[in-house]
């Protein structure tokens, strides 16, 4: 074994249940894009399907993988769908995102009419992130045009929050007010009002008023907190269980003398005789180079500091006073005895966020699943 990622499907299910209860009566859509944040798209989706009112993906291929696996809940594609993939999306009942009412809308409608099947869409409004979405001033008229286009059914009107991790955010409240104002200004002419959604994990936890009709739950499903503020703000009975752990084994143990350097650039120099353990994983395997001379993994139940620069496929550890030998287990993320290393630890060491840590674990790493 060079490296193995272990996923607890039981933790995923328990997180899904707890989060669904937290956001009720709003519906719960679980986000499984980016290979389910590194947890494995299909196995993660299967684990929580029974608790999901919908699943959210980024690409049409992700949606097709879910359908091929027999997953039948509504699937919303949040990213762009190329014109040449519209037939595939419609054939598999995938819902798509619209952010303009121009020629792309006409192409979507033509696809629906040609196949004799309505295309369900979620219309995105830009309330402040400045990525994708209709301008709020033009959105009501655009949504009305979309709604009266034959072959199109609007399943949702939504936006995305920019600063929901903050406990005191006037910007968040302004974004919600903007989306609500757009929806109120639309005349649906007897049709059922589409679902309104704007909240992801952090907003659902910190801002109950943002839950609206549906919440898109991503990072929290995997047992990771969107921010320290969310962990501190929620009552103690709302618990999340990290579902992912990451392990390897030492492939070599080297003895070095005081004054010896370790790794590229000679950025670490030993101040004493040391035993150095070599882990056969590096930045190509999802370990951020920012962990160089900062991070730690667990060997023999103790945190062993990373020394030298993280290499493409290897990382070196100070084994300290342990009696570790080649072949011994290394816990990169997870717990052993009294020691623990978390995705949040990696994020702190690499000056990033836990989302990036798990999402960048390569799909090629072996993943095993247990209940």
Question: Does residue 102 lie in a domain region?
Answer: yes
Does residue 84 have a pLDDT over 90? Answer: yes
Reference 359, options 368, 340, 346, 341; nearest CA is: 346
- Looking at the chain, the number of H-run helices and the number of E-run strands are 12, 20
Question: Does residue 14 lie in a domain region?
Answer: yes
Number of domains in the chain: 2
CATH number for position 152: 3.20.20.10
Catalytic residue among 191, 228, 255, 264: 264
Q: What is each CA distance from 67 to 17, 119, 251, in whole angstroms?
A: 23, 17, 40
Query: What pLDDT was estimated at residue 1?
Result: 63
Which is it for the CA torsion 276, 279, 285, 287, positive or negative? negative
Parallel, antiparallel or unpaired: strands 244-249 and 54-57: unpaired
Question: Does residue 4 lie in a domain region?
Answer: no
Tens digits of residue pLDDT in 7-63: 999 999 999 999 999 999 999 999 999 999 999 999 999 999 999 999 999 999 999
Question: Does residue 2 lie in a domain region?
Answer: no
Whether 264 is catalytic is yes
Residue recorded with tokens 């390897």 = 248
Range(s) of the domain holding residue 303: 244-370
Distance CA 31, CA 78 (A): 10
Tens digits of residue pLDDT in 174-194: 999 999 999 999 998 877 899
**In terms of domains, do 255 and 224 share one?**
no
CB 30 within 8 A of CB 76: no
Share of the chain above pLDDT 90, in %: 92
Tens digits of residue pLDDT in 186-219: 998 877 899 999 999 999 999 999 999 999 999 9
**In terms of domains, do 34 and 152 share one?**
yes
| Average pLDDT score over residue span 252-277 | 98
Token digits of residue 329: 């287990």
pTM of this structure: 0.96
Catalytic residue among 33, 37, 120, 283: 33
Across the chain, mean pLDDT equals 96
């Amino acid at each position: 074994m060079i490296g193995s990622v272990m996923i607890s499907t039981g933790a995923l299910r328990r997180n899904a249940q707890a989060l669904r209860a937290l956001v009720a009566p709003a519906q719960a859509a679980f986000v499984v894009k980016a290979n389910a944040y590194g947890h494995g798209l299909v196995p993660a989706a299967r684990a929580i399907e029974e608790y999901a009112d919908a699943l959210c993906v980024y690409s049409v291929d992700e949606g097709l993988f879910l359908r091929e696996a027999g997953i039948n809940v509504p699937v919303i594609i949040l990213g762009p769908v190329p014109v040449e993939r519209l037939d595939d999306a419609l054939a598999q009942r995938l819902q798509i995102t619209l952010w303009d009412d121009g020629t792309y809308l006409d192409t979507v409608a033509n696809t629906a009419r040609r196949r004799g099947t309505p295309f369900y869409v979620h219309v995105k409004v830009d309330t402040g992130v400045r990525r994708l979405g209709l301008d709020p001033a033009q959105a009501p008229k655009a949504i009305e045009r979309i709604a009266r286009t034959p072959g199109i059914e609007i399943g949702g009107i939504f936006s995305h929050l920019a600063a929901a991790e903050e406990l005191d955010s006037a910007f968040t409240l302004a974004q919600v007010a903007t989306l609500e104002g757009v929806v109120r200004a639309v005349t649906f002419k007897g049709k059922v009002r589409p679902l309104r959604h704007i909240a992801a994990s952090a907003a659902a936890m910190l801002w109950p008023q943002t839950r609206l009709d549906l919440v898109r739950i991503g990072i929290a499903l995997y047992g990771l907190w969107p921010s320290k503020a969310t962990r501190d703000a929620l009552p103690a009975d709302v618990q999340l269980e990290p579902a992912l752990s990451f392990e390897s084994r030492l492939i070599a143990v080297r003895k070095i003398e005081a004054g010896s350097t370790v790794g590229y650039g000679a950025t670490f120099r030993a101040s004493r005789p040391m035993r150095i353990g070599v882990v056969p994983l590096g930045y190509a395997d999802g370990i951020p180079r920012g962990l160089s001379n900062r991070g730690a993994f667990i060997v023999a139940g103790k945190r062993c500091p990373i020394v030298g620069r993280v290499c493409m496929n290897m990382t070196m550890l100070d084994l300290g006073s342990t009696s570790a030998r080649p072949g011994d287990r290394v816990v990169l993320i997870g717990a052993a005895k009294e020691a623990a290393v978390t995705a949040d630890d990696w994020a702190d060491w690499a000056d990033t966020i836990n989302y990036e840590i798990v999402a960048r674990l390569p799909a090629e790493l072996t993943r095993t699943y247990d209940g």
